[in-house]
Structure 1
Amino acid sequence: MLRRPPAAWRSAHNQAHLDARAHRRASPQAYRRSARVKTHLQGIRHGLPATSGTAAAAKTQAPTCTTIHDLGGDLILEILLRLPSLSSLIRAAVSCRAFLAAVRSSPAFRRRFRALHPPPLLSFFFESIGKDIPSFSPIRRRSDPDLAAAVRGADVFLTRLPYHDEASTGWKIAECSGGYLLLLNGDTEQIAVYNPLTRALDLFSVPPDEIADGHRGNFSVQNCFVLSSGEAPGSFRVVCCCLDNSRVRAAVFSSGTREWQILPWSPPAPGQPSDKGHWLLAGKQANGNLHLAHVERAYKVVLDTLTLQFSFIDLPEHLKGKGSLYMTGETKNGKLCIVSVVGFTLHIWFRVADTDGVEKWVVDKVIPLKHEVLQATETAPDDPGQLKVWAVLDGVVYFSALIRGQPSSPRWFLSFCLETRKLEKLFYRTFDNGVYPYIMAWPSSLWEVENVIPLEHEVFQATETSPDDDDYLKMWAVLDGVVFCSPVRFGDPSSPTWFLSFCLETRNLEKLFYRTFDNCVYPYIMAWPPSLVCNCVSS
């Protein structure tokens, strides 16, 4: 028994029928056109041939399919420039070949992106007291899941570092710069340069004993630095600075040559007693140079990392002998600066030339932060405390708020941007020993690598196959600038495959034939025929 449709459906159906009758009476021609279109569509639906008019209408109304490959490189870069952070750019680039190719091929884009999006802070490494492994405190930002994913994938426990004693690894952090951790092992006399994100590890020996040749009086290795190259991903230099009673010397290790270069001793430091032991404080990188301040006097030793020459510059007289109250660093545009602290107030110093053209340190800004810090950390105003600056990187001051008389108590770690005046609360923990902010570096995967030609997309498009993780290209021969190859599935080399050729000069990929692989492959090249060679026979 058939049921009657619901009343609501009958009402809607009747109304549609009345509307159609009204439309037919008002415009008979329009109704006949719509009826013809309806008839043609019903015919197509039932497999009947369409008329030429219907085919033309269907052809003009067919939707066009736009893919990512239809976008130009400039448009792609403008889209990528609007991503919020470097971690988001990495995720987008590795998910699309067109994005990755556009980023790799444009140094101008990389400069613009770095100017708009400074490298993000991922974490802090803390040097442990004793011989325990350095500890790690991540920066948790809910607004950037890509950054959190990068932290989760990093080797924050430094498991790739070799160790000979199960109770102690023996590794100590010397510096953190350019995405690298520089670590020293006094037991094995080794140096490690390690990237926890990429897990790239480089091990080599400490400088040779010749570094101490010619020293006068006491000799000691003062500091070690790692210098990464912004234009050569994966390459670095390590600089070890040593000193005797009045002079400084450096040894430079290059990842390219795998050798140490020992520099000459510097001239004697001004006003330095000849019987003084450790007369320089721990150094810092800033503005492309290495800065080591004097313990008591108002000057610092500077090593130019390009010329590898030592020089001496003055310090503000106000900061003489107060190395714990200031930190050398650089602004967002790379300008050298000093940030000193008095209580909860930051003093920003720059070198400015006077009327005689002589540069000297001048206080540019005085920034009181007591109210902001106490409010952010929810600390009582009557608690006596002060700020301790740990680093000044890319115009951001990293510091902690501590209670006087309790240096080992837990404290808040914060950051303050000199440009935007934004104060950010990072985390709360105890202070162990050294503090090293870890900044995410520009990954080598986003740099254009010379003489590397990706062919995955072209091969799968030419052979009309879908990519598989187990596919790879097998090269058979390279003759006259032409590479003969075939895509092979790992573990199944005997299955049929396409044989292709790729010209290194024209970048033209050509599909040759499809067949099974038997054993060896020998391209046969036509030689110059003897009939075209002139045989001169002497009479």
Structure 2
Amino acid sequence: MGGAETDRGQTTEYPVSSTSPGGRMGGAASDHGQTSADSRAEPAVPEHQRELRARLLPPRRGLQETAPLPIYDELVEEIFLLLPTPTDLIRASAACVSFYRLVARRSFLRRFRKLHAPPLLGFLDHGREFIPAIPPHPSAPAADALALAADFSLSFLTREPYLTPAHYWDIEDVRGGRVLLSRHPFHDLSLAVCDPLHRQYLLLPPIPAFEGWASLYNLRTGWQTFLGDDEEAVEETSFTVVSISQWGNWLGAIMFSSSTGQWRQSPWIGGFAFFNQCRYAYGCFYGLTECRQKLLVLDTWKMEFSLADLPPEARGSSERDVDISFVEAGEGITGMFVHPGNTYSISYLTKRNNGGSSSQWKLEKTIPLDFTGSRFMGSSGMHLLLRCWREFPSPDLGTFTLDIKTFQFERVASQYGAYIYSNFPPSLLSSPTISSGAENEAEEMLEQGGAASSSA
């Protein structure tokens, strides 16, 4: 270290902070020949700075004193909710007993099913035959398990002596693992909703004597019945049944809610004797008017009909057939797929819900088709379902999905059915899709008992 001579001839040492290229501390000898101090000595620090550093820096502890932070169930639950598919969740639950108990909780499964649409497992035809998804589709294993576990013959309907055999029931619609049935001959106006996987059913109460409805049901003219979701219900077992009927030049609708157990009626709307290509998205049923220039919308929350303009891409005529389908695109956005007849492309448009009158359909993408022909079958989650075929070499290619995120086609099945069947696979993720209320109470008691035993 270097030094400076004072008035009394003594030398004061100054610390040297530079380092030589060789890694050793460098320093010059003082005028009296003294050498630098030991390089291992700490630099001189004023006392007030030492006290300040002692107050700011936490005390050092050895590694043996550090304990790992516990992973709380709430954090694990939030992580599991981010898993992309039910298969990933099942694999995660198999890691340990505590994970399985968390995933098996009814409250967690309710949250997971609300965030993740049930996967497409196959199709149902009018004869109640299940057509499963085939490899390499990711739902193929779950579809095979469903085919073994479910009773699509609906033989469980005959458990009650007053019910007619299953072959007297016709399929009207399928949604979310539920099957809507009507009994024929239709003189008694009987409707039922059943769950083939869990072998449960619910007979709907008789339809009240709303104006004009009794004669329509007896004639069964211009009558369509659909399954819908009860968006305002707390339980995932809740559903709605909507019937749309034509009465001369008038249209009307009635809706049954499993949450209230009651029917309600919409006002009749005049001047529309046509409701074609009816599709469902976000609690609304969409159909084309007879002129194919307007979109007729039934809002099941308000139970009101309204008219909306179609974008130019979707307008048809008697000479121009246009195929239209709707999807729930997420984040309050409704998607519309449009395929004009005799063309080899599909247009995808979006519109934000609750956007007011200024909200217009926006063209997002045009997707080319590598098929001779195709026909929309509906939607499942964020996928459009369509039947595709070629004239050569194979006359029928089967059923495909079109992902609205990647716009890629994926083959689901070699055949096609009239109704799309989507549900969670028969595992810890599956639960009854209909309930009379007794099952809910029993499940709540089991869940509370499991929570008490795990905390003990």
Match of 2:183 in 1: 185
Equivalent of 1:241, from 219, 238, 244? Answer: 244
State the shift of 1:119 in Å: 2.4
Cα distance between partner residues in 2 of 1:228 and 1:443 = 17
- 1:464-483 alignment to 2 at 5 Å? none
Give the secondary structure class of the aligned counterpart of 1:169.
Answer: helix
State the shift of 1:351 in Å: 3.8
Question: In 2 relative to 1, CA 299–164 (structure 1 residues): closer, same or farther, beyond 3 Å?
Answer: same
Cα distance between partner residues in 2 of 1:214 and 1:428 = 42
Q: 8 Å contact 2:329–2:382 — kept in the other structure?
A: yes
Cα distance between partner residues in 1 of 2:107 and 2:451 = 20
Match of 2:316 in 1: 320
Match of 2:226 in 1: 225
State the shift of 1:197 in Å: 2.3
Deviations 1:194-231 (A, max 9, x none): 22222221123563453516999x98453212223363
Match of 1:264 in 2: 267
Question: In 2 relative to 1, CA 308–73 (structure 1 residues): closer, same or farther, beyond 3 Å?
Answer: same
Question: In 2 relative to 1, CA 389–199 (structure 1 residues): closer, same or farther, beyond 3 Å?
Answer: same
Q: 8 Å contact 1:334–1:394 — kept in the other structure?
A: no
Match of 2:300 in 1: 305
Query: Does 1:251 find its partner at 2:254?
Result: yes
State the shift of 1:399 in Å: 0.7
Query: Does 1:454 find its partner at 2:453?
Result: no
Equivalent of 1:396, from 359, 383, 386? Answer: 383
Match of 2:422 in 1: 439
Q: 8 Å contact 2:103–2:109 — kept in the other structure?
A: no
Cα distance between partner residues in 1 of 2:399 and 2:163 = 34
Query: Does 1:124 find its partner at 2:123?
Result: yes
Q: 8 Å contact 2:237–2:432 — kept in the other structure?
A: no
Q: 8 Å contact 1:77–1:109 — kept in the other structure?
A: no
Cα distance between partner residues in 2 of 1:93 and 1:265 = 51
State the shift of 1:121 in Å: 0.7
Query: Does 1:135 find its partner at 2:138?
Result: no
Give the secondary structure class of the aligned counterpart of 1:149.
Answer: helix
State the shift of 1:387 in Å: 1.4
Q: 8 Å contact 2:388–2:396 — kept in the other structure?
A: no
Aligned residues: 359
Equivalent of 1:287, from 282, 288, 296? Answer: 282
Query: Does 1:330 find its partner at 2:328?
Result: yes
Question: In 2 relative to 1, CA 90–237 (structure 1 residues): closer, same or farther, beyond 3 Å?
Answer: farther
Question: In 2 relative to 1, CA 190–93 (structure 1 residues): closer, same or farther, beyond 3 Å?
Answer: farther
Unaligned runs of 5+ in 2: 1-67, 434-439
Cα distance between partner residues in 2 of 1:85 and 1:192 = 31
Give the secondary structure class of the aligned counterpart of 1:312.
Answer: strand
Match of 2:345 in 1: 345
Q: 8 Å contact 2:198–2:432 — kept in the other structure?
A: no
Query: Does 1:160 find its partner at 2:146?
Result: no
After TM superposition, the score normalised by the length of structure 2 is 0.65
Q: 8 Å contact 1:184–1:190 — kept in the other structure?
A: yes
Question: In 2 relative to 1, CA 76–390 (structure 1 residues): closer, same or farther, beyond 3 Å?
Answer: same
State the shift of 1:426 in Å: 1.5
CA-atom RMSD in angstroms: 4.3
Question: In 2 relative to 1, CA 177–171 (structure 1 residues): closer, same or farther, beyond 3 Å?
Answer: same
Question: In 2 relative to 1, CA 75–190 (structure 1 residues): closer, same or farther, beyond 3 Å?
Answer: same
Query: Does 1:423 find its partner at 2:419?
Result: no
Match of 1:198 in 2: 198
Cα distance between partner residues in 1 of 2:195 and 2:109 = 26
Cα distance between partner residues in 2 of 1:193 and 1:300 = 29
Give the secondary structure class of the aligned counterpart of 1:207.
Answer: coil
Cα distance between partner residues in 2 of 1:451 and 1:457 = 10
Cα distance between partner residues in 1 of 2:148 and 2:226 = 27
Match of 2:21 in 1: none
Q: Percent identity?
A: 23
Give the secondary structure class of the aligned counterpart of 2:156.
Answer: coil
Q: 8 Å contact 1:336–1:350 — kept in the other structure?
A: yes
Equivalent of 2:172, from 174, 194, 205? Answer: 174
Q: 8 Å contact 1:283–1:290 — kept in the other structure?
A: yes
Q: 8 Å contact 2:195–2:432 — kept in the other structure?
A: no
- 1:91-110 alignment to 2 at 5 Å? 96=97, 99-101=100-102, 104=105, 110=111
Q: 8 Å contact 1:178–1:227 — kept in the other structure?
A: no
What amino acid does structure 2 have at the position aligned with 1:192? A
After TM superposition, the score normalised by the length of structure 1 is 0.56
Q: 8 Å contact 1:281–1:323 — kept in the other structure?
A: no
Deviations 1:291-338 (A, max 9, x none): 122132411221212222221112235523466622233324452222
Match of 1:509 in 2: none
Cα distance between partner residues in 1 of 2:405 and 2:324 = 19
Question: In 2 relative to 1, CA 294–105 (structure 1 residues): closer, same or farther, beyond 3 Å?
Answer: same
Question: In 2 relative to 1, CA 82–314 (structure 1 residues): closer, same or farther, beyond 3 Å?
Answer: closer
State the shift of 1:78 in Å: 5.2
Cα distance between partner residues in 2 of 1:100 and 1:221 = 50
State the shift of 1:123 in Å: 0.8
Which sits farther off after the overlay, 445-454 or 206-215?
445-454
Cα distance between partner residues in 2 of 1:88 and 1:153 = 21
Cα distance between partner residues in 2 of 1:320 and 1:224 = 25
Q: 8 Å contact 1:240–1:250 — kept in the other structure?
A: yes
Question: In 2 relative to 1, CA 365–82 (structure 1 residues): closer, same or farther, beyond 3 Å?
Answer: closer
Give the secondary structure class of the aligned counterpart of 1:80.
Answer: helix
Match of 2:17 in 1: none
Match of 1:387 in 2: 374
Q: 8 Å contact 1:103–1:110 — kept in the other structure?
A: no
Question: In 2 relative to 1, CA 93–260 (structure 1 residues): closer, same or farther, beyond 3 Å?
Answer: farther
Deviations 1:487-536 (A, max 9, x none): xxxxxxxxxxxxxxxxxxxxxxxxxxxxxxxxxxxxxxxxxxxxxxxxxx
| Greater relative CO, 1 or 2 (CA 8 Å, sep 6+) | 2
Question: In 2 relative to 1, CA 211–186 (structure 1 residues): closer, same or farther, beyond 3 Å?
Answer: farther
